[in-house]
Amino acid sequence: MGSLSVNLCGIELDNPIIPASGTFGYGYEFAELYDINILGTFSFKGTTKEPRFGNPTPRIAECTAGMINAVGLQNPGVDKVIAEELPKLKKCFHKPVMANVSGFSVADYAYTCEKLDKEDQVGWLEVNVSCPNVHGGGMSFGTCPEAAAEVTAAVKKVTTKPVIIKLSPNVTDIVSIARACEDAGADGISLINTLLGMRIDLRTRKPVIANKMGGFSGPAVFPVALRMVYQVASAVSIPVVGMGGVSSAEDVVEMLLAGASAVEVGAANLVNPYACRDIIRDLPGVMEKYKIQNLKDIIGGAH
């Protein structure tokens, strides 16, 4: 059997499969279903400086080949995550974990990342710049290169662990934003976050989601995600984590060929809680079918 291992920012992973933030909680809920130590790692629930209740309900809507969510970063805040969630996580997951961080100002990001950087279990900081900048009129940090670079530089100043910037696809030129993050010191780029979408209820003639719009994810977004990963991987020299509609071992191989060093699986976990386990189980067969000896060897192979 070939090797499934990959390297992400200097840390070796047994395989490239990473459940995406917001689809895997803090891990221990899934640990009741299977041994989550088979995963490469996972990205835990988006964490902010202060606790957040999230958006009003309804905040999930189904659609063809996907779903829309507007959960609104519901989380207990960084202090509670460190005091309560990480000790529980440590009991069931014995590898470095990816800490996903969100914020509403540059200072927020720096504060939360500095705290999580000190935690032994945290291997990487995945910084979600798709949040509305409260000091910038609500525009997302990830929609302009300067704002994304400012967050990157601020986080890098107060951390020692690899910083991976998670980019929004809701932009005209994702490459310029990725390059700005690299120039500001990012150790990696992850993409894509959800596309912006909505549904309207024909009976009430109103948007299905209380927030009107939400993040569209699922198999329907895979070709868009693959295209953006391909573009960014050829434009930067730091590792790329690919995600967006990944739901099979074949999708993972496509992402690696596009240039991803590791692959996150999101919405698929909400449809089938065993999705990541099944993908890891299926990978050797797919590798054999396409005559792949080591996954590391095919990264960027489509370029």
pLDDT higher than threshold 70 for residue 137: no
pLDDT, tens only, 150-174: 999 999 999 999 999 999 999 999 9
Q: How much is the average pLDDT of 254-279?
A: 97
Tell me, what's the pLDDT at 54?
86
What residues are annotated to the active site?
A: 131
Q: b/e for 138-158, b at 16 or more Cβ within 10 A? A: eebbbbbbebbbbbbbbbbee
Tell me, what's the pLDDT at 132?
65
255 close to 242: Cβ distance less than 8 angstroms = yes
Q: How much is the average pLDDT of 114-129?
A: 97
Higher per-residue pLDDT: 131 or 206? 206
* Cα of 165 vs its chain's centroid, Å: 9
Tell me, what's the pLDDT at 15?
98
Q: Return the closest-CA partner of residue 9 out of 176, 175, 182.
A: 182
Tell me, what's the pLDDT at 133?
64
Q: How much is the average pLDDT of 273-292?
A: 98
- Give the amino acid at 224: V
Quick one: what percent of the chain has pLDDT higher than 90? 92
Please, what is the average pLDDT of the chain?
A: 95
Tell me, what's the pLDDT at 2?
83
pLDDT, tens only, 62-98: 999 999 999 888 999 999 999 999 999 999 999 999 9
pLDDT, tens only, 11-37: 999 999 999 999 999 999 999 999 999
pLDDT, tens only, 169-181: 999 999 999 999 9
Q: Return the closest-CA partner of residue 243 out of 122, 131, 100.
A: 100
Domain spanning 6-54+73-195+219-298: CATH superfamily = Aldolase class I (3.20.20.70)
How would residue 131 be classed by pLDDT, with cut points 50, 70 and 90? confident
* Cα of 63 vs its chain's centroid, Å: 21
* Cα of 163 vs its chain's centroid, Å: 13
Query: pTM higher than 0.85 for the full model?
Result: yes
pLDDT, tens only, 241-250: 999 999 999 9
Torsion of CA 91, 85, 23, 27, to 10 degrees: 0
**Distance between CA atoms of 26 and 183, rounded to whole angstroms?**
31
pLDDT higher than threshold 90 for residue 58: yes
